[in-house]
């Protein structure tokens, strides 16, 4: 069984920047959604006015019901996209910040005199090629220290 994560933000500045960016995108999309809803309401009201419908006309009740349904759909979509953007940002931030933190810690360890062992990243983490390049340097360091 995998141990529980102790530190959810290994690089808070980077991760919070990504999450803030996702929230900014979510806000932009929510604003577009609200604008669409308001435009649709305005269009329906103009259409009803153009038909010279009386306030008691049954079509106006139908239009009002569709407006309420549309509002509910817009609110549900807004909440869903806000949650989806934030979950994606948190997931992505872990896949970016975790490997960078691991590589930084590894290089600091080697720099402070510890043995130059290979870096291991989780499957699915980004920067695998950077870890491979670091491992080549570690292999070269191991070769240099064994010949000295």
115 is a domain residue:
yes
Q: DSSP readout, 78-100?
A: HHHHHHHHHHHHHHHHHHHHHHH
**Quick check: is 131 in a domain?**
yes
pLDDT grade for 112, boundaries at 50, 70 and 90? very high
In a domain, residue 90? The reply is yes
**14 touches 93 (CB < 8 A):** yes
Residue 1, in any domain of the structure: no
8 Å CB contact between 106 and 119: yes
Judging by beta carbons within 10 Å of its beta carbon (0-12, 13-18, 19+), is residue 1 exposed, middle or buried? exposed
Conformational region of residue 120, where left means phi above 0, alpha means psi within -120 to 50, and beta covers everything else: beta
The domain tally of the chain equals: 1
Residues of the chain with pLDDT > 90, as a percent, come to 8
Neighbours of 52 (CB within 10 A): 7
pTM of the model: 0.62
Q: Is residue 123 part of a domain?
A: yes
Q: Does 70 fall in a domain?
A: yes
Q: Does some domain include residue 81?
A: yes
pLDDT tens digit sequence for 4-47: 556 677 778 888 888 888 888 888 888 888 888 888 888 877 87
Residue 129 resides in a domain: yes
The residue range of the domain holding 81 is 12-147
């Amino acid at each position: 069984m995998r141990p529980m994560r102790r530190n959810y933000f290994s690089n808070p500045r980077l991760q919070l920047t990504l999450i803030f960016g996702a929230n900014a995108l979510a806000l932009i999309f929510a604003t577009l959604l609200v604008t669409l809803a308001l435009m649709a309401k305005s269009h329906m009201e103009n259409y009803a006015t153009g038909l010279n419908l009386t306030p008691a006309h049954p079509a106006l009740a139908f239009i009002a019901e569709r407006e309420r349904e549309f509002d509910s759909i817009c609110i549900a979509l807004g909440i869903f996209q806000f949650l989806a953007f934030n979950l994606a940002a948190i997931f992505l931030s872990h896949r970016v910040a975790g490997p960078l933190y691991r590589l930084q810690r590894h290089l600091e360890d080697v720099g402070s005199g510890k043995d130059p062992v290979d870096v291991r990243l989780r499957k699915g983490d980004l920067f695998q090629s950077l870890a491979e390049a670091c491992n080549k340097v570690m292999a070269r360091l191991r070769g240099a220290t064994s010949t000295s």
